Structure 1
Amino acid sequence: LKLTPADRVLGVLPLSFDYGQNQLFSTWAAGASYAPLDYLTAKDVVKAIDRLAPTTVAGVPPLWVQVLEAEWPQDTA
């Protein structure tokens, strides 16, 4: 995943999913930080991105559609 110790990973994939585990273990191996998020709606993901400013987030296509359609804070880059 080419992660570095400076990366902040927002973990939205379940750890029962192989890529969710890959993301967690890759983050640890790189010495980066991992913030797990047990979300209910795409709005929760948007709020976490705004609050935590992760450098990477992995998701599945249905989540990306919902995140793109969600209302984002104006100052979120």
Structure 2
Amino acid sequence: MPIKKWIFQYSIALPVLFALFSSVQYIKGQTVSYSVTFGLTWAFISIAIFATRRAYNFKKNIDCQLCKDLDQRDAQQK
């Protein structure tokens, strides 16, 4: 499993999702503490669902067209 690559990707996605979810709740008129809690909760839930599905697809060797494109581009650059 490409764990290092995934950890890097999720370490970028988590704060982005947190900021997005929190800011939307704050703009809707919620308190800051509620917005932060909401943002953290849903960012972790979203990342967990995506990571679990991605690991399942990797384990079952299910084709991913996006992954193939990324791998080919990486190979061409080397």
Q: TM-score of the superposition, structure 2-length normalised?
A: 0.31
Greater share of residues in strand: 1
For the pair shown, which has the larger CA radius of gyration, 1 or 2? 2
